[in-house]
Structure 1
Amino acid sequence: MLSVLFSLYLKMLVLYSPFFVLSCFIGLTPGHSVKERKKLAWRVALGTLIASVLLYLFGQTIFDLFGITADAFRIGAGSVLFISALGMAQGKSAVQTDNLNQDITIVPLTIPLTVGPGTIGALLVMGISQPQWDAKLLAILAIAIASATVGAVLYLSDRVERLLGQQGLQILSRLMGLFVCALAAQIIFTGVRGYLQP
Structure 2
Amino acid sequence: MLAAFFSTYLSSSIRFLFLLAPFFVVTMFLALTRGQSATEKVVVIRRSCTAALILGVVLFFIGPLLFSVIGITLNSFRIGAGSLLFLTAVSLVTSGTRNHATGLPVEDREDVAVVPLAIPMMIGPATIGAIMVYGAELNSFSEVSGGLLGLLTALLGMAALLYLSGYLERVMGKNGLNIMSKISGLVLSAMAAEIVLTGISGFIATTYG
- Equivalent of 2:143, from 135, 140, 147? 135
- Equivalent residue for 1:173? 181
- Equivalent of 1:75, from 45, 68, 79? 79
- Equivalent residue for 1:145? 153
- Give the secondary-structure state (helix, strand or coil) at the position aligned to 2:75: helix
What code does the residue aligned with 1:193 have?
S
- Equivalent residue for 1:45? 49
Q: Indicate whether 1:18 and 2:26 are aligned.
A: no
**Unmatched segments (≥5 aa) in structure 1:** none
- Give the secondary-structure state (helix, strand or coil) at the position aligned to 1:30: coil
Distance 1:8 1:31 in 2: 35
- Equivalent of 1:6, from 7, 10, 13? 10
What code does the residue aligned with 1:114 have?
M
- Equivalent of 1:190, from 181, 195, 198? 198
Count the aligned residue pairs.
Answer: 197
The alpha-carbon deviation at position 144 of structure 1 amounts to 0.5
Distance 1:4 1:128, change over 3 A: closer
What code does the residue aligned with 1:134 have?
S
The answer on whether the counterparts of 1:41 and 1:152 sit within 8 Å (CA) in structure 2 is no
Range that drifts further, 8-17 or 77-86: 8-17
- Equivalent of 2:39, from 27, 35, 42? 35
Distance 2:197 2:24 in 1: 25
Distance 1:39 1:112 in 2: 18
Distance 2:68 2:35 in 1: 45
What code does the residue aligned with 1:17 have?
A
**Unmatched segments (≥5 aa) in structure 2:** 100-104
Identical amino acids, percent of aligned pairs: 36
The alpha-carbon deviation at position 125 of structure 1 amounts to 0.9
Q: Indicate whether 1:108 and 2:112 are aligned.
A: no
Distance 2:90 2:120 in 1: 15
Deviations 1:142-169, CA, capped at 9 Å, x for gaps? 1001111111111111111111110110
Distance 1:79 1:38, change over 3 A: same
What code does the residue aligned with 2:71 have?
G
The answer on whether the counterparts of 1:27 and 1:97 sit within 8 Å (CA) in structure 2 is no
- Equivalent residue for 2:102? none
TM-score (norm 1): 0.94
Distance 1:175 1:97, change over 3 A: same
The alpha-carbon deviation at position 92 of structure 1 amounts to 4.0
Deviations 1:147-197, CA, capped at 9 Å, x for gaps? 111111111111111111101100000000000011001100000111111
The answer on whether the counterparts of 1:48 and 1:110 sit within 8 Å (CA) in structure 2 is yes
The alpha-carbon deviation at position 61 of structure 1 amounts to 1.1
- Give the secondary-structure state (helix, strand or coil) at the position aligned to 1:58: helix
